[in-house]
């Protein structure tokens, strides 16, 4: 109820301000909608390419190969796959975290480490490429490397904290 009144009062304040400043509110609104539509259309191709990239990584067998190579670690090999997928896709990282919960348990070393990894890092590659590309920024390589390094630092700190807890 309060949120509805807040939204209605905001709309009224904007309209009253537009009338006071003698601005055509409807023309301003339609031009904003046109710009928003163009932005959404520009973002679609980046979104589609990331969905394709995640699907290719999941279907090419890389995940199964990494599980076989790193099967003798203290933690689940799925953790390494989650570390690889987290900068690209938040949803894939979440799915891997749930799979780790089902196999190893929520209170296990792998379960807690998976939670930390999902929490302290972000889908930096996705965010940077998707949003920078959508608004037309082409030179983002330094920002991309900083995002990857921050994620790597978060992964290392997560492992150290969970190792200290166990």
pLDDT in tens, 52-84: 876 787 788 877 787 777 777 777 778 888 888
Taking Cα atoms as reference points, which of 73, 120, 80, 108 lies closest to residue 96?
Answer: 80
Structure tokens at 100: 């780790």
Give the length of the chain. 166
| Mean pLDDT of all residues belonging to the chain | 84
Q: How confident is the model at residue 153 (pLDDT cuts 50, 70, 90)?
A: very high
Containing structural domain, residue 138: 2-165
∠88-62-155 over CA atoms, to 5°?
45
Query: Exposed/middle/buried for 108, CB within 10 Å: 0-12, 13-18, 19+?
Result: middle
* pTM exceeding 0.85: no
User: CA 136, CA 29: separation in Å to the nearest integer?
Assistant: 23
The number of domains in the chain is: 1
Provide the pLDDT confidence category of residue 101 given band limits of 50, 70 and 90: very high
């Amino acid at each position: 109820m309060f949120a509805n009144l807040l939204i209605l009062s905001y709309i009224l304040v904007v309209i009253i301000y537009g009338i006071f400043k003698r601005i055509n509110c409807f023309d301003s609104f339609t031009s904003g909608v046109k710009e928003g539509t163009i932005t959404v259309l520009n973002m679609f191709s980046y979104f589609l390419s990331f969905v394709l990239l995640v699907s290719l990584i999941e279907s090419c067998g890389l995940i199964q190969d990494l599980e076989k190579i790193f099967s003798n670690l203290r933690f689940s090999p799925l953790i390494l796959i989650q570390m690889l997928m987290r900068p690209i896709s938040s949803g894939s990282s979440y799915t891997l975290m749930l799979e780790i919960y089902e196999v190893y348990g929520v209170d296990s070393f792998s379960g807690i480490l998976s939670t930390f990894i999902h929490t302290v890092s972000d889908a930096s590659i996705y965010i940077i490429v998707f949003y920078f590309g959508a608004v037309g920024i082409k030179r983002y390589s330094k920002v991309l490397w900083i995002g990857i390094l921050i994620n790597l630092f978060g992964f290392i700190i997560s492992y150290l904290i969970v190792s200290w807890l166990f």
